[in-house]
Amino acid sequence: MNAVRFYGIQDVRFEEIPKPIPNKDEVLIKVMYAGICGSDLHIYHKGMFILHIPETMGHEFAGIIEEAGASVKDWRVGDRVYANPMVPCMVCASCLAKSYNTCEKLSFIGEISQGCFAEYICLPKDKLISIPMEGDLKPYVLCEPLAVALNICRRANFQREDKVAVLGAGPIGLLLMHVLKKIRPVSSVTALDISEERLKMAQKAGADNCVGNAEELADDYDKIVDAAGVETTLKAAVTHTKANGFIYVVSIFEKDFHFPINDIVAKQLSVVGCNVYEKEDLETAVKVIWEGRLKPDFVITHEFPLKEAKEAFSLLAGGEKKASKVVLKP
Ligand SMILES: [Zn+2]
Ligand SMILES: [Zn+2]
Report the pLDDT value the prediction gives residue 173, as an integer from 0 to 100.
98
Q: How far apart are CA 275 and CA 157, in angstroms?
A: 15
Report the pLDDT value the prediction gives residue 89, as an integer from 0 to 100.
97
For residues 92 and 185, membership in a common domain is answered with no
- Measured in degrees and rounded to the nearest 5, phi and psi for residue 128 equal -80, 145
Q: Which of 39, 113, 195, 324 is catalytic?
A: 39
76 by DSSP, 3-state: which? coil
Given a cut of 80, whether residue 41 has pLDDT beyond it is yes
Q: Which ligand is the nearest neighbour of the Cα of 61? A: 1
241-251 pLDDT, tens digit each: 999 999 999 99
Given a cut of 80, whether residue 321 has pLDDT beyond it is no
Report the pLDDT value the prediction gives residue 254, as an integer from 0 to 100.
82
Given a cut of 80, whether residue 218 has pLDDT beyond it is yes
Q: How far is the centre of ligand 2, averaged over its atoms, from the C-alpha of 275 (Å)?
A: 14
Q: How far is the centre of ligand 1, averaged over its atoms, from the C-alpha of 244 (Å)?
A: 31
Q: How far apart are CA 219 and CA 237, in angstroms?
A: 9
Q: How far is the centre of ligand 2, averaged over its atoms, from the C-alpha of 102 (Å)?
A: 7
For residues 22 and 110, membership in a common domain is answered with yes
Tell me whether residue 111 is in a domain. yes
Report the pLDDT value the prediction gives residue 140, as an integer from 0 to 100.
98
For residues 301 and 242, membership in a common domain is answered with no
For residues 45 and 102, membership in a common domain is answered with yes
Tell me whether residue 140 is in a domain. no
Report the pLDDT value the prediction gives residue 40, as an integer from 0 to 100.
94
Report the pLDDT value the prediction gives residue 109, as an integer from 0 to 100.
97
Domain span at residue 36 reads 2-134+295-329
- pLDDT interval class at 51 (50, 70, 90): confident
71-82 pLDDT, tens digit each: 999 999 999 999
Q: Which of 42, 94, 99, 302 is catalytic?
A: 42
- Stated length of the chain: 330
Q: How far is the centre of ligand 1, averaged over its atoms, from the C-alpha of 151 (Å)?
A: 13
Q: How far apart are CA 327 and CA 305, in angstroms?
A: 9
For residues 262 and 157, membership in a common domain is answered with yes
- Helix, strand, coil % (nearest 5) of the chain? 30, 30, 40
For residues 260 and 304, membership in a common domain is answered with no
CATH value at residue 230: 3.40.50.720
Q: How far is the centre of ligand 2, averaged over its atoms, from the C-alpha of 112 (Å)?
A: 14
Identify whether 258 is a catalytic site residue. Answer: no
Report the pLDDT value the prediction gives residue 47, as an integer from 0 to 100.
87
For residues 10 and 126, membership in a common domain is answered with yes
Identify whether 42 is a catalytic site residue. Answer: yes
Q: What average pLDDT does range 63-73 have in this prediction? A: 97
Tell me whether residue 151 is in a domain. yes
User: Are the beta carbons of 271 and 245 closer than 8 angstroms?
Assistant: no
- pLDDT interval class at 259 (50, 70, 90): confident
For residues 200 and 239, membership in a common domain is answered with yes
Tell me whether residue 252 is in a domain. yes
How many domains are there within the chain? 2
- Residues contacting residue 233 through CB under 8 Å, at least 6 positions apart: 167, 168, 192, 214, 226, 251
152-163 pLDDT, tens digit each: 999 999 999 999
For residues 127 and 220, membership in a common domain is answered with no
Of the CA atoms within 13 Å of residue 172, those in its CB half-sphere come to: 30
Q: How far apart are CA 53 and CA 6, in angstroms?
A: 7
For residues 234 and 129, membership in a common domain is answered with no
259 by DSSP, 3-state: which? coil
Q: How far is the centre of ligand 1, averaged over its atoms, from the C-alpha of 316 (Å)?
A: 14
Q: How far is the centre of ligand 2, averaged over its atoms, from the C-alpha of 249 (Å)?
A: 21
- pLDDT interval class at 226 (50, 70, 90): very high
Tell me whether residue 129 is in a domain. yes
Neighbours of ion ligand 2 (CB under 5 A): 88-89, 92, 95, 103
Tell me whether residue 286 is in a domain. no
For residues 159 and 115, membership in a common domain is answered with no
Given a cut of 90, whether residue 239 has pLDDT beyond it is yes
Tell me whether residue 28 is in a domain. yes
User: Are the beta carbons of 249 and 233 closer than 8 angstroms?
Assistant: no
Report the pLDDT value the prediction gives residue 48, as an integer from 0 to 100.
87
Given a cut of 90, whether residue 172 has pLDDT beyond it is yes
Report the pLDDT value the prediction gives residue 219, as an integer from 0 to 100.
81
Given a cut of 90, whether residue 322 has pLDDT beyond it is no
- pLDDT interval class at 10 (50, 70, 90): very high
Per the prediction, the chain carries an average pLDDT of: 96
Q: Which ligand is the nearest neighbour of the Cα of 43? A: 1
* pTM recorded for the entire structure: 0.96
Tell me whether residue 284 is in a domain. no
Q: Which ligand is the nearest neighbour of the Cα of 116? A: 1
Q: What average pLDDT does range 175-194 have in this prediction? A: 97
Q: How far is the centre of ligand 1, averaged over its atoms, from the C-alpha of 145 (Å)?
A: 5
Q: Which ligand is the nearest neighbour of the Cα of 96? A: 2
Report the pLDDT value the prediction gives residue 275, as an integer from 0 to 100.
97
| Side chain identity at residue 261, one-letter code | I
Report the pLDDT value the prediction gives residue 319, as an integer from 0 to 100.
72
For residues 176 and 53, membership in a common domain is answered with no
- Residues contacting residue 194 through CB under 8 Å, at least 6 positions apart: 212, 213, 321
DSSP symbol at 113: B
User: Are the beta carbons of 194 and 167 closer than 8 angstroms?
Assistant: no
Q: Which ligand is the nearest neighbour of the Cα of 94? A: 2
Q: How far is the centre of ligand 1, averaged over its atoms, from the C-alpha of 278 (Å)?
A: 13
